[in-house]
Structure 1
């Protein structure tokens, strides 16, 4: 092989000790350096034997190889060079007969040198490093051939995902009615767990398929390091192969699992989410594969990576009921936002609820009803309670010498009112604008909402008229402080304004509910039992319960100076006041980012891919490996220090 490379114009340098006769004669040139780096020979290997035998005055010095068999004894050269002086007693001393300087002098003076013609031309093109694309193609081809040659690898990766999909779906294909053999998607309580377990499977398979990729290539990479090849082309080839495998695995899993569970019309959405999670897990696996030197260590790490993804994915524990150092009442905790599982689970749950063929027809009506119902039955009574609490505490403590404690309670309640009322003013205007857009068909869907109350048509009026009719005045809001607030003047006025809000939201709810019922009646008239059949075929009750958070006892919660809605989060639009921020409550139907509104499903997919791209940066620069090596060096130094301490202690004791 090396000889063939020389025929292609390459120079091959080989460092070798005690070569056999055949290998020795295969070299074109041999360079011998004596102790201290002195050059004692450069030239034909066989001629070197003749040269040193001649200088050593040996018999048949002009014979370099055996005349019969052609063998050469390379060791003879080293015996001559390192020959030692014998003393008067016939014993070898440690002094050499001829020093390295003398051997070099004999070579320089006694061996004729070939004249070397100076060449200024560039080396042949075969010595050039291929461009990025060619390197990528070579790495890709090499990796594909290596994987194809491993039959077990191919079979396992092709069968693992569909087999897991079959096992999971078969086990949880639940029929609620014990007297019936008909499977109904609506009644299957295991659909949300199926969604979450699908994400767990994607994470696990994505990690295991990539966890040894770079680790297995470590010896090859070490040999190729001196060539200064493109790391990005190598990594890109790896990633392309892995995401191709992941795409196939996600497809097979979804096709089998969704078909068994009767989840119709959602194949692409499920595949896209799971494929995105697969890719994220692939990048995570490549990072640990690049960082650690042991396959055992790599596989020990996989549970450590999986457990946070499972715990903070949103399915096992409510984010509002986590440790206070981590949990959050009004938004998904930051630490959970770092988990791909959280974005995948939310995206798929919201999409399954909103975009199935049943709920898609009624979601807009249900959302308007939910907003109106919550404000009317939960929010406004809560604000009224704060106003009443101020009145009660002042009446009960009138004439008593406890002004500070009273003012503390009053300030606490006023802080809530001052925060919530301006926010609700803005939300009323947003709701009327939204209903107007539906009525005009601006949203792409025309719904004839009508909001009449007390002779006022809120949707026919312009924004200024709505503000004059429904907004709580700025002057009243500014009066919400301990020094200026008066119960008779400001409190009663606030209560009257809240009653207006109640009337408004009652009108909104009635309009949305009437339109929804009319739509259902029309559909059932055209196709008998249309509503029930479509619901059973495409909707899932348990998933509906989860995204509407019906199991939460506290439908509204006070958190500092604000009220947090915990009822039906799927219908609650996130706060869009922060231009850059995209964090929101869990199961939000949309996300706001950079002033734009995005569907949760697509935004969450974008976040998962962004996280995957971020994982590529430490992979490319090998950050994790450097960190591991840094702490490994610290550990080594610690052991060395402990050893030195033990030695000192032993000396003291002795």
Structure 2
């Protein structure tokens, strides 16, 4: 209040006292008390001198110094100061004037009083309540629930006023609640010596009863603010509930820390603070009480419902605001609150949810900011205090019965801290139970608490009770001087830091220096607490069997999915740099990759001559792997704190993950489509748009899911981006281009197949599908592929395989006849086994009758006659496959003839130049390889023309660049099979993501290392 306003009030006081015909001495004394009580002014000589001059001016002892209409003068003064006084200050002035005229000429002051109430716009019903309060003589005057009476009547007269029994009080304490004041006021009538906040209470004079105030007397129990607040709340709000813990205990693994045995029982309608030094276990206690951490022993209940065993019953009753920021920085204030509310009120229409959002924003004074993006805690758009209030609003909009808040004032200014705590206090007044962690509260905040729990090291509760009594308790325990004084008698402030200073007092050595050891150990304080404290079990009639009502109801998984997806879209579309980069990244990379792989030896570009097509196929896969992983790697880790809250609310992880995946799938579809469209256009790849896109899109989705898995598993963005190259490089090396699979293949394998290291690489399946599809299904090769395949198989058998086998038979036969001992050595045995195995394979094709002397192809049985019979059979096979080759070649020649005749002589030549590629043909035919086959202990493994070779396996495995895969007796086209394999791998990653397997494996490995280290340290100590 400024000086001008105070001077106007002094003038108004003088007018009232003159009209009331008060004695000058009484008027000065009353005004002096008013200055001290209302403004805390002790040095008031200047104001008293001014007041005395005004009394004489208005004629308190006679006639006024000049003619004056005092009612008109009072009207002018009150009108002028009205805009400078808060409503509660206006009301307090009015009540004080009521008190002043009580002992004077009331009829003369009535007109002045009515003038003042009209100017201040105080209704007649409110004025009547104030009159009844000041002029109270009997309970008939206070027949409304806005009054509370404390007296020694054990059975008070049945009436609407509220009552608290105090058997030892000599007199009556009357409390009044008014919405205009915000707090309570009281007046005492009686002979009992009472004090409020250390100052004597004068009977017949009213006092404000604010948060943290205590009325004490030598013969009565202290009257706390929370007692009066509960006296009003309990009868207004129904049902009231009890939150209790019975001998709860929790210990961390291999540690005595956590929470030592603790019991409590607290009613609703309170603001409870948990105070203690850093690391004493305040957050652990909050997480135990909110159900995040199950106790090792004991029960935590809401009424009779166990919060751990009956989670479904209490769903929606508990709210938790962690210390971490839970806001989406790219959403507005309104959107943050709206999406949070949408996930909690399934039964409400959108309009009702929007109304709730508007109401909460208005209550929290955030309405003017609702269109602003919240920004990050570093790049602030709204202030820290506004962020904290919005974080609290995310839970308040659900209206939980119990709200836990971790460090609500951390990092805030004193003003913002008070705003946040007043907000929480208002919720307690509405019947909620609010429990907060706090480290160093100010005096104002400390007085807001109804209860205080003090914690010491190791998770020991060492005090529970009234906050101001805590100071007295600890000062008394250590024999402080003035131990009974909890606050400054002059200013009324308290020093909450005294509590922790006393608890953590250090020992002093003989030189007066502090020692590291504490004077009072945590065990000492805990033992004192157990001796001095008994938990009072609150019993609320009619409430123990049920639960407080809740309006919260989470949506089903499908609706949650829609809400999560809409929220994710809003976030992405608001982040313009994100959109810009991800929408332009693929087209730009397409131009870069296509430009540098657009090879031409002449001025005219010819697709057939492009030697860099394989590089393009390879780089396309690398690009989509990189884009898919980079866009998804931060998707979950940046929501980690928010996911904890949504897990606390039992929201669907399935819906959340699918909303992320759907967005990434849509983004990947666009990125791969734009990449293929632009790059294929530049390189002149025709008619392959859909197949290229499907393969690269499949790889991109695989990469998205791989990125989401590491995003879910790790807690550090740095670790994720270090890991990305470790995941990408194997995909690059083992796609079949950089490292040849033949070089990785064991020399002793029986069947030809890609090594297992290659089988688990999505890049291998993608590159093979692209290469095979481009070669097999281009417009030129589509005419001849099946014919070329049959010709290649027949030619390999007639010109290479049978010829080599005949030579080996001659070799073994010749060496055996020259040296009979040769027939029994390992080399002879191995060669005969190879000949036998290869003849069996050829006979299994059933093109000729089987060779009847296969069992004679072994040492001891093999001789010249068997050799001749074997060569005869092999020559028959050779002739058959040669004839087969000639027949198919003739069919191909006829096809070429008809096509040229129908389309023109240049048709096939033009198609070959436009759609076929020479370098790709070299790759899939392996035509630059000198050995056409590789000898193994089991036979000859074909290496020439792998695309024309049928797989050796029937379980889907095959050699690299096979044109088909055999599975369960069916031949499946490589393109279809490989795309299916990529989606199968993606499905595995999806399941791993849903169940968080990678994160669980990391935790298990860390635990294993810790256990191993523990035992190793134990052995060293022994």
TM-score category by the smaller chain? 0.7 to 0.9
The 2-side partners of 1:635 and 1:52 are apart by: 44
Q: What is the CA-CA distance between 1:197 and the residue it aligns to?
A: 0.8
Change (3 A) 1:137 1:52: farther
Instruction: Name which of 548, 570, 586 aligns with 1:145.
Output: 570
Q: Which whole-Å deviations, capped at 9, do the CAs of 1:29-49 have from their partners, x for residues lacking one?
A: 54546887577547xx99999
2:850 pairs with one of 458, 464, 472: 472
How far, CA to CA, are the matches of 2:498 and 2:436 in structure 1? 18
Cα 1:616–1:624 change in 2 (3 A) is same
Distance 2:730 2:885 in 1: 41
Give the conservation status (yes or no) of the 8 Å contact 1:326–1:333. no
Preserved contact between residue 372 and residue 508 of structure 1 (Cα < 8 Å): yes
Q: 1:309 to 1:81 in 2, by over 3 A?
A: closer
Q: Is contact 1:280–1:608 with CA below 8 Å preserved after alignment? A: yes
Partner of 2:965, secondary structure, is strand
Q: Match for residue 606 of structure 1? A: 980
Within 5 A, what are the aligned runs for 1:122-271?
A: 124=549, 126-176=551-601, 178=602, 181-271=603-693
Distance 1:48 1:94, change over 3 A: closer
Matched with 1:10 is 401
* Mapping of residues 413-432 of structure 1, within 5 Å: 413-429=831-847
1:384 maps onto 2:806 in alignment? yes
* Distance in 1 between residues matched to 2:922 and 2:985, nearest whole Å: 30
Question: What's the counterpart of residue 933 of structure 2?
Answer: 556
Q: 1:592 to 1:530 in 2, by over 3 A?
A: same
1:410-489 aligned at under 5 Å gives the runs: 410-429=828-847, 470-473=848-851, 475-488=852-865
SS at match of 2:611: coil
| 1:283, distance to aligned residue in structure 2 (A) | 1.6
Cα deviation, residue 494, structure 1: 2.1
The question of whether the paired residues in 2 share the 8 Å contact of 1:287 and 1:618 is answered with yes
- The change in CA–CA distance for 1:40 and 1:587 in structure 2 (over 3 A counts) is closer
Select the structure with the greater relative contact order (CA < 8 A; seq sep ≥ 6). Answer: 1
Contact 1:135–1:233 (8 Å) recurs in 2: yes
Q: Distance in 1 between matches of 2:756 and 2:736?
A: 13
* Deviations 1:391-437 (CA, angstroms, capped at 9, x unpaired): 2112221xxxx6266554432222112111121122244xxxxxxxx
Contact 1:547 1:568 in 2 (8 A): yes
In 2 relative to 1, CA 493–404 (structure 1 residues): closer, same or farther, beyond 3 Å? closer
Say which of 883, 890, 893 aligns to 1:517: 893
Q: CA deviation at 1:237?
A: 2.1
Conserved? CA contact 1:38–1:104, under 8 Å: no
CA displacement, residues 287-307 of structure 1 (integer Å, 9 cap, x when unaligned): 222222322222122221122
Partner of 1:371: 793
Matches within 5 A, 1:30-45: 30=451, 32=453, 37=461, 40-41=464-465
Indicate conservation of the 8 Å contact 2:752/2:952, yes or no: no
Note the C-alpha offset of 1:552. 0.8
Cα gap change, 1:522 to 1:26, in 2 (>3 Å): farther
Distance 1:207 1:238, change over 3 A: same
Q: Number of residue pairs matched?
A: 576
Residue pair 1:47, 1:64 contacting (<8 A) in 2 also: no
2:859 counterpart SS class: coil
Given the alignment, which residue of 871, 886, 900 partners 1:495? Answer: 871
User: Is the CA contact (8 Å cut-off) linking 2:471 and 2:499 kept in structure 1?
Assistant: no
The residue number in structure 2 matching 1:317 is 739
Answer whether contact 1:203 1:281 (CA < 8 A) is retained: yes
Report the equivalent of 2:999. Answer: 625
Shift of 1:485: 2.5
| Counterparts in 2 of 1:366 and 1:140: CA distance versus 1, 3 Å | same
**CA deviation digits over 1:28-84, x for unaligned, max 9?**
x54546887577547xx999999999xxxxx9x9x999999xx975849969999x9
Partner residue of 1:538? 915
Q: 1:311-349: CA deviations, max 9, x gaps?
A: 111012321123749999821111111111111111111
- Taking the aligned partners of 1:560 and 1:602, their CA distance within structure 2 comes to 33
Q: 1:126 to 1:405 in 2, by over 3 A?
A: farther
Structure (1/2) with the larger strand percentage: 2
Decide which structure has greater helix share: 1
Secondary structure at 2:636 match in 1: helix
Q: Which residue of 2 aligns with 1:587?
A: 961
Q: CA RMSD in A?
A: 4.0
The 3 A distance-change label for structure 1 pair 424 and 642 is: closer
CA distance in 1, matches of 2:750, 2:643: 46
User: What SS does the corresponding residue of 2:739 show, helix, strand or coil?
Assistant: coil
1:591/1:323 CA distance change after superposition, 3 Å: closer
Q: Structure 1 residues 49, 224: CA separation in 2 closer, same or farther (over 3 Å shift)?
A: farther
Q: Distance in 2 between matches of 1:313 and 1:11?
A: 56
Q: Which residue among 762, 780, 804 is the counterpart of 1:340?
A: 762
Q: Match for residue 449 of structure 1?
A: none
- Aligned partners of 2:748, 2:994: CA distance in 1, in Å? 31
Q: Is 2:778 aligned against 1:360?
A: no
Larger Rg: 2
Q: Which residue of 2 aligns with 1:289?
A: 711
Q: CA deviation at 1:606?
A: 0.8
Distance 1:347 1:76, change over 3 A: closer
Residue 502 of structure 1, CA deviation: 2.2
Give the direction of change, closer, same or farther, for the CA distance of 1:67–1:246 in structure 2 (3 Å limit): farther
- In the alignment, the residues of structure 1 paired with residue 1004 and residue 939 of structure 2 have an alpha-carbon distance, to the nearest angstrom, of 46
Unmatched tracts of structure 2, length 5 or more: 1-388, 404-434, 476-481, 506-517
CA distance 1:130–1:427, shift in 2 (3 Å): same
Deviation at 1:484, TM superposition (A): 2.5
1:572 matched to 2:994? The reply is: no
- Please show how residues 631-650 of structure 1 align to structure 2 within 5 Å: 631-633=1005-1007
Contact 1:344 1:604 in 2 (8 A): yes
Residue 254 of structure 1 and its aligned partner are, at CA, apart by: 0.5
Task: Confirm or deny that 1:304 pairs with 2:726.
Answer: yes
Asked whether the equivalents of residues 752 and 951 of structure 2 are also in contact (C-alpha less than 8 Å), the reply is no
Distance in 2, Cα, partners of 1:283 & 1:236? 11
1:113, CA displacement in angstroms? 7.5
* 5+ residue gaps, structure 1: 54-58, 85-92, 430-469, 649-654
**Residue by residue, what CA displacement relative to the aligned partner does 1:269-290 show, whole Å, maximum 9, x if unpaired?**
1111111111111122122222
Cα distance change of structure 1 residues 76 and 647 upon mapping to structure 2, 3 Å threshold? closer
Q: What's the secondary structure of 2:966's corresponding residue?
A: strand
8 Å contact kept, 2:443–2:496: no
Residue 959 of structure 2 aligns to a residue whose secondary structure is: coil
3-state SS, counterpart of residue 14 of structure 1 = strand
Name which of structure 1's ranges 259-268 and 299-308 shifts more when overlaid on structure 2: 299-308
Mapped contact 2:625–2:703 kept (Cα < 8 A): yes
